[in-house]
Amino acid sequence: MFFASDNTSGVAPQIMAALARANEGWQPGYGTEAAMTRVTALIREIFEAPGAAVCLVTTGTAANALALGLLTPPWGAVFCQTRAHIAEDECGAPEFYTHGAKLVLAGGDHGRIDPGALRAALAATGTGGVHGVQRGALSLTNVTEAGTVYTPAETAALAQLARDHGLPVHLDGARFANAVVATGASPADLTWRAGVDVLSFGGTKNGCMGVEAVVIFDPARAWEFELRRKRGGHLLSKHRYLSAQFEAYLTDGLWLDLAARANRAAARLAEGLARIPGVTQRHPVQANMMFPAWPAGTHERLRAMGAEYYQDDAGARLVTSWATSDEDIDRFLAAF
């Protein structure tokens, strides 16, 4: 009964197999291997973005922080949701990679940025001339930290507010596959067609071992990104093991299949919880993460049964993954 995080699951067998295949023989490193060319081609096709540049790194924190470093100067403000991963869970990596940019928080329900809050934050920033920080970039997250998703239209509306102020847009897509599955939208509609400039496209949480693709829709910025990646120590020498993972991930729709399994598991779990008296959901369940609330004594019983998940003052966070079994879900529900 493992609901602590999608990153506590293992690596999908197709990806393990790809790593084994990639292990044959000698290959040049640092992303010059042939597999990386194929990864770029796959991403361009999937995103309908023939010019996009792609760089692989091993963590979402690196992907996000490097992307923000690319998009905003040190004196820029990065607008993000109050509970965004970049604000709460990266130990200041965005500030490190941007050389000191300021995160400006915009609230909103259910992990989403409220357009009015963003409008107010934009209006209140950069108005002091040289005395205050300038507007820098907008960073969205889809799936959000509350487990909800943005539709293409919602993404575009927020991105447009940024664009109205000349700002570029970053999308933290650590769970991008789950968002694509949940919305049924095309990758292009959820990103560049909605105004996203750079995407952190997660693999790790969705069945990879440790790889995230940074998709830079304007290739003119790619070389600077590569320098930043190297300078950050994020250019792997045996890079073939990153490209092998991502190639397998994107082949035959594996990334969507894995995410669909995770989302279905969440739906099953949510449906089960809905039938249990006294259990409520604090946010709509739309992807593979949910935040139920239940009577105080419940935690103890669940823990005793071996359930693993994060707990907060108001309830729990349950995350499903491609590896979550129906048996685990049913055992968990039965524990109530």
Shortest Cβ 44–a copy of itself spacing (Å): 21
Shortest Cβ 215–a copy of itself spacing (Å): 17
Q: Residue 172's closest CA among 116, 149, 157?
A: 149
Of 16 and 157, nearer to a copy of itself (C-beta) is: 16
Shortest Cβ 144–a copy of itself spacing (Å): 18
Of 83 and 268, nearer to a copy of itself (C-beta) is: 83
In the chain, the DSSP E strands lie at 53-57, 76-81, 102-106, 134-141, 169-173, 198-202, 212-216, 280-281, 289-290, 292-293, 310-312, 315-319
Shortest Cβ 31–a copy of itself spacing (Å): 9
Of 188 and 209, nearer to a copy of itself (C-beta) is: 209
Of 45 and 308, nearer to a copy of itself (C-beta) is: 308
Give buried/exposed letters for 167-190 (b at 16+ CB in 10 A, else e).
bbbbbbbbbbbbbbbbbebebbbb
Of 72 and 263, nearer to a copy of itself (C-beta) is: 72
Of 235 and 279, nearer to a copy of itself (C-beta) is: 235
Do the strands 289-290 and 310-312 form a parallel or antiparallel pair, or are they unpaired?
Answer: unpaired
In whole angstroms, what is the distance from residue 124 CA to residue 39 CA?
41
In whole angstroms, what is the distance from residue 266 CA to residue 224 CA?
39
SS3 135: strand
Residue 221 vs residues 76, 162, 273: alpha-carbon distances, Å: 18, 19, 46
Shortest Cβ 123–a copy of itself spacing (Å): 12
In whole angstroms, what is the distance from residue 140 CA to residue 170 CA?
6
In whole angstroms, what is the distance from residue 283 CA to residue 146 CA?
7
Shortest Cβ 294–a copy of itself spacing (Å): 22
